[in-house]
Amino acid sequence: MRHREAEQDREVAALLSAQAFIEIRYLAYGARHLPEDQSPDKTLERIRFLADLCHNLPGITRPRRWSPSRRGATASTREQALTQRPMSWTWNTAGPQARAWMLGHITAHHPRWTPPPPIPQRPSTPPALTLRQEASALLGRWPVQAPPGEQPLPEAARALKAVDTATVCALYEEAGRLRLGLGKGGPWLHHHLHPDAVHHIVPDPADYYWPGRPEGSEGTIRWWQCTVLLRMYDGEQVSSMIAVMPETFTALPQNLPRRRQARLVHLARATERDTYLWGRDHKTTCGPQTCGYAPEPAEG
pLDDT tens digits along 214-250: 876 668 899 999 999 999 999 999 999 999 999 999 9
Give me the mean pLDDT over the 183-208 stretch: 91
Q: Does 64 score more than 80 pLDDT?
A: no
Asked if residue 123 is part of any domain, the answer here is no
Judgement on whether residues 105 and 135 belong to the same structural domain of the protein: no
Judgement on whether residues 240 and 161 belong to the same structural domain of the protein: yes
Judgement on whether residues 198 and 252 belong to the same structural domain of the protein: yes
Asked if residue 121 is part of any domain, the answer here is no
Judgement on whether residues 59 and 166 belong to the same structural domain of the protein: no
Judgement on whether residues 172 and 100 belong to the same structural domain of the protein: no
pLDDT > 90: percent of the chain: 56
H, E, C per residue of the chain:
CHHHHHHHHHHHHHHHHHHHHHHHHHHHHHHCCCCCCCCCHHHHHHHHHHHHHHCCHHHHCCCCCCCCCCCCCCCCHHHHHHHHCCCHHHHHCCCHHHHHHHHHHHHHHCCCCCCCCCCCCCCCCCCCCCHHHHHHHHCCCCCCCCCCCCCCCCHHHCCCEEECHHHHHHHHHHHHHCCCCCCCCHHHHHHHECCCCCEEEEECCCHHHCCCCECCCCCECCCEEEEEEEEECCCCEEEEEEEECHHHHHHCCCCCCHHHHHHHHHHHHHCCCEHHHHHHHHHHHCCCCCCCCCCCCCCC
Asked if residue 119 is part of any domain, the answer here is no
Residue 66's pLDDT is what?
60
End-of-domain residue from the set 109, 139, 169: 109
pLDDT tens track for 277-287: 899 899 888 88
pLDDT band at 122 (very low <50, low <70, confident <90, very high): confident
How many domains does the chain contain in total? 2
Judgement on whether residues 138 and 105 belong to the same structural domain of the protein: no
Q: Does 30 score more than 90 pLDDT?
A: no
Expressed as residue numbers, the domain containing 254 is 131-285
